[in-house]
Structure 1
Amino acid sequence: MIQRRPLILGAAALAGLAALGLPQLAFAQGASKLKVAAVYTVPFEQQWVGRIHKALKAAEARGEIEYKATENVANADYERVMREYATAGHQLIVGEAFAVEAAARKVARDFPKTQFLMGSSGKPQAPNFSVFDNYIQEPAYLSGMLAGGMTKSNKIGLVGGFPIPEVNRLMHAFMAGAKEVNPKVEFTVTFINSWFDPPKAKEAAFAMVDKGVDLLYAERFGVSDAAKERKVLAIGNVIDTQPQYPDTVVASALWHMEPTIDRALKLVGNGQFKAEEYGMYSNMKYKGSSLSPLGTFEKKVPAELVARVKAREAEILGGKFTVKIDDSQPRSTAR
């Protein structure tokens, strides 16, 4: 069993409110801070959870919330930890319910005065269970365009965690973007059936490179390490890992959780929180996602390809192009 490791985070001093595209909470001097807790099944360093943690830490730094979080919670312990936080009087509980849907929803029913904002492939549950997901298919499409233009072998490998909607839709968008630029490209798709197992992801990536893949979609940690060792390129996901892999990671589809978290905090603070779908706040127009700067690859990516990607990005932001959401499990196309 994974050992649960608690982390209690004290509130930082009040700082200036950041402009993040959505209204921020305004607290009068001496007003009570919201008590917020988060329950994570993986460590803070895992990219998906890391983005949620980062947004909540920013709210803590602004003096808006008291924030406590527990990482590495085993699925069997998830319900218990949620109940502990709810019983302790936390007004908002954040987490990821993908593998513990029934348990998480049961806790929400048992604590109707506590608000819940959970990563989930399911629907909101009235009155207090809102759901979100990383709908970053738009920058994933743009990163796929870069991949399609940068591969020389026309063979791209994708290594994912589990074939669930939140992963599938990003892979499909990435593949569609690559196909737009390079119709000849073939894909090899592998799932490691783990959210955090860098060695396993690395081995899966090695196997792809051995079969001629020269560009890897790093949906999981470990893939970019394999790409670096085998001197092939990679596309990042959720966070920008180019600083760690300056000669390997071309670009990344970034997820920004601040619009989602800040909206939820505002509604809880105003007593207006209800069961809603928050997925849309990960879209580019809400600044919930973006394509990372090319950085070290700025002069390595052909100017014509950069122009195509920027033109498509402008069309997405202007509502003239819609990236299709396909939650079905992607399949390999390589022969």
Structure 2
Amino acid sequence: MFNITKTALVAGALLLPHAALAEVKIAMILTGPITDADWNSVGYNGLKAAEDALGATIAYSENVTDADAERILRDYASQGYDVIFAHSFSFGDAALNVAEDFPETVFMAATAQELTENVGTYSNPDYQGAYLAGMLAAGTSKTGTVGWVGGMPAPNMLANLNAYAAGAQEQNPDVNVLHTFIGSWFDPAKTKEAAIAQTEQGADVLSAQGVGVIDAAISENVWALGAMTDQNHLGPNVVLTSVLWDLGPLVTAVAKAVEDGTWTSQEWTYGIPEGAIKLADFHGLDSNIPADVLATVNAKFDAIAAGDFIVPLDTTQH
């Protein structure tokens, strides 16, 4: 389960009154495989970016269940890792429990709702990109119905869904937005089944918030919008673009702050204005999107980047 490699350190910034370190050791636990081209790949790629930038020692564990999270976090803390990323909303309680016993270790819990002196959090502001994806979906759809399939109704997923719906409605006030939570963070078969069910209800553009949606888009010959990484390679003829999340700058900055002894507990968030959220290449498929829709989406991206438009952060469940 454990994978460990060695390396050196970089820049970042922030603040906890711990002594500076000669070398920082970073660990991360993930809910699924690092090859999922989705949430877990983003986490792993961020960890590797920090390794490359800082020359740090890194370690990671894949396919960690909620039941095992506390034990594995405790193992890493016992091994002397200086900063440990719990890369799932569902790992928050485990991080808080372990942090009590390891006050000199920094824990970063994804989208955590509670912070302590040595537990910080980082958000996934991909809802900013989801707004653009919703505009693209509604503007491309021929049926007026678009779909969205995700794992569980955690705050970051609800933010993504609500922003997707809001963007779709800006583009087409009459659009019908279908959504499904499958009740699991990683179940490709169930995700594909839910996505196919949405196509049977008329959805001809799908937001792929879980592994399996793109397979459904291929089998049903509808468009898909990827998430987290450039997922066009999973469906070269159906994935119009993807909302990218580059976690490398954030992981690097957190680790550098821990190394420098300048870390403090807070929420870290890097979105469109910071260059961490963007749209992937269209790989030639933009010819299937009306030119006026593309122009409107590009203008909205620029407005978000400049701070002239703030995507609503809505985590309510409807």
The answer, yes or no, to whether TM exceeds 0.5 is: yes
Give the Å deviation of 1:169: 0.5
Asked if 1:91 is matched to 2:82, the reply is yes
Asked if 1:7 is matched to 2:2, the reply is yes
Give the Å deviation of 1:71: 1.2
Residue in structure 2 matching 1:54, options 24, 39, 45 = 45
Q: Give me the whole-angstrom Cα distance separating, in 2, the residues matched to 1:277 and 1:123.
A: 10
**Partner AA of 1:7 in structure 2:** F
Asked if 1:243 is matched to 2:233, the reply is yes
Change (3 A) 1:41 1:34: same
Q: 5+ unaligned residues in a row in structure 1: which ranges?
A: 1-5, 25-30, 331-335
Residue in structure 1 matching 2:302, options 292, 301, 314 = 314
TM-score, length-scaled by structure 1: 0.88
Q: Give me the whole-angstrom Cα distance separating, in 2, the residues matched to 1:320 and 1:302.
A: 24
**Partner AA of 1:88 in structure 2:** Q
**Partner AA of 1:285 in structure 2:** P
Asked if 1:227 is matched to 2:227, the reply is no
Q: Give me the whole-angstrom Cα distance separating, in 1, the residues matched to 2:115 and 2:46.
A: 21
Give the Å deviation of 1:287: 1.5
Q: Secondary structure at the match of 1:284?
A: coil
Q: Give me the whole-angstrom Cα distance separating, in 1, the residues matched to 2:103 and 2:94.
A: 15
Q: Secondary structure at the match of 2:287?
A: coil
For residues 120-160 of structure 1, give each alpha carbon's deviation from its aligned partner in whole angstroms, at most 9, with x where no partner exists.
Answer: 341322x1100112111111111111111100000111111
For residues 71-93 of structure 1, give each alpha carbon's deviation from its aligned partner in whole angstroms, at most 9, with x where no partner exists.
Answer: 11222221111111111111111
Q: 5+ unaligned residues in a row in structure 2: which ranges?
A: 14-20
Give the Å deviation of 1:118: 1.4
Q: Secondary structure at the match of 1:89?
A: coil
For residues 299-329 of structure 1, give each alpha carbon's deviation from its aligned partner in whole angstroms, at most 9, with x where no partner exists.
Answer: 2222211111111111111111110011012
Residue in structure 2 matching 1:191, options 156, 181, 184 = 181
Q: Give me the whole-angstrom Cα distance separating, in 2, the residues matched to 1:74 and 1:302.
A: 43
Say whether the 8 Å CA contact 1:128–1:273 is kept in structure 2.
no
Correspondence for 1:28: none
For residues 211-270 of structure 1, give each alpha carbon's deviation from its aligned partner in whole angstroms, at most 9, with x where no partner exists.
Answer: 221111111110111011110111111111012212111111111112211210111011
**Partner AA of 2:265 in structure 1:** A
Say whether the 8 Å CA contact 1:97–1:104 is kept in structure 2.
no
Correspondence for 1:175: 165
Say whether the 8 Å CA contact 1:201–1:223 is kept in structure 2.
yes
TM-score, length-scaled by structure 2: 0.92
Correspondence for 1:295: 283
Say whether the 8 Å CA contact 2:136–2:297 is kept in structure 1.
yes
How big is the alpha-carbon RMSD for the aligned residues of Structure 1 and Structure 2? 2.0
Q: Give me the whole-angstrom Cα distance separating, in 1, the residues matched to 2:91 and 2:42.
A: 20
Say whether the 8 Å CA contact 1:120–1:133 is kept in structure 2.
yes
Say whether the 8 Å CA contact 2:214–2:234 is kept in structure 1.
no
Q: Secondary structure at the match of 1:55?
A: helix
Say whether the 8 Å CA contact 1:121–1:166 is kept in structure 2.
no
Residue in structure 1 matching 2:68, options 60, 69, 77 = 77
Q: Give me the whole-angstrom Cα distance separating, in 2, the residues matched to 1:312 and 1:329.
A: 25
Q: Secondary structure at the match of 2:307?
A: coil
Asked if 1:324 is matched to 2:312, the reply is yes
Give the Å deviation of 1:32: 4.0
Change (3 A) 1:306 1:100: closer
Say whether the 8 Å CA contact 1:121–1:165 is kept in structure 2.
no
Correspondence for 2:120: 130
Q: Secondary structure at the match of 1:298?
A: helix
Give the Å deviation of 1:98: 2.5
Q: Secondary structure at the match of 1:58?
A: helix
**Partner AA of 1:112 in structure 2:** P
Residue in structure 2 matching 1:36, options 26, 41, 50 = 26
**Partner AA of 1:151 in structure 2:** S
What stretches of structure 1 move > 4 A for 4+ residues in a row? Answer: none
